[in-house]
Structure 1
């Protein structure tokens, strides 16, 4: 996922949301708390994607500020953000 830098945020969300939403529906019925590490790992990959796509955000602090701004502007862009209140 983090190597697909030709996509935009919305295109990336359209590609991974159905898969993640399916995992959340299926595994969330049994043990919701076991999914949290996986969802955090998806966020780590997304942050890595941001750092690769936008050269000016290579530094972690700059990328993290951008990440928080995106989360604040588009809180429902990715399906798993609905379950994670602080999303980093």
Structure 2
């Protein structure tokens, strides 16, 4: 996987502006992002799965930013937001496609 491919995938996540979509629930975001992430995991993951760790970390940190915008108590607490998403990932490990692949947590 080239650096340019990783850069374009991260750019795709940024252009979707997930972090600003606070009107959506986490399940709705999962339905929105899963086809995209599944495609990347299927195409690039069959050769070098470890190359996708950085991308999955980027997606997880985008979810942390979303949680910090959506929930006021998490606004000033990055670590609490990470723990909040880790708890959700423990309860619903099949919610996101990259969580199903074992890439859970902010530091996946």
Q: Same fold (TM over 0.5)?
A: yes
Is the deviation greater in 14-23 or in 58-67? 58-67
Q: CA RMSD in A?
A: 1.4
> How far apart in 1 are the matches of 2:57 and 2:86?
14
Structure 1 equivalent of residue 66 of structure 2: 49
Which of residues 21, 24, 35 is equivalent to 1:7?
A: 24
Structure 1, unmatched stretches of 5+, are none
| Larger relative contact order (CA 8 Å, sep ≥ 6) | 1
Partner of 2:14: none
Deviation track 1:30-69 (CA, whole Å, cap 9, x = no partner) reads 2211111101110000111001111111112321231221
Map of 2:86 onto structure 1: 68
Q: Normalised by the size of structure 1, how large is the TM-score? A: 0.90
Query: Gapped runs of 5+ residues in structure 2?
Result: 1-17
How many residue pairs were aligned? Answer: 88
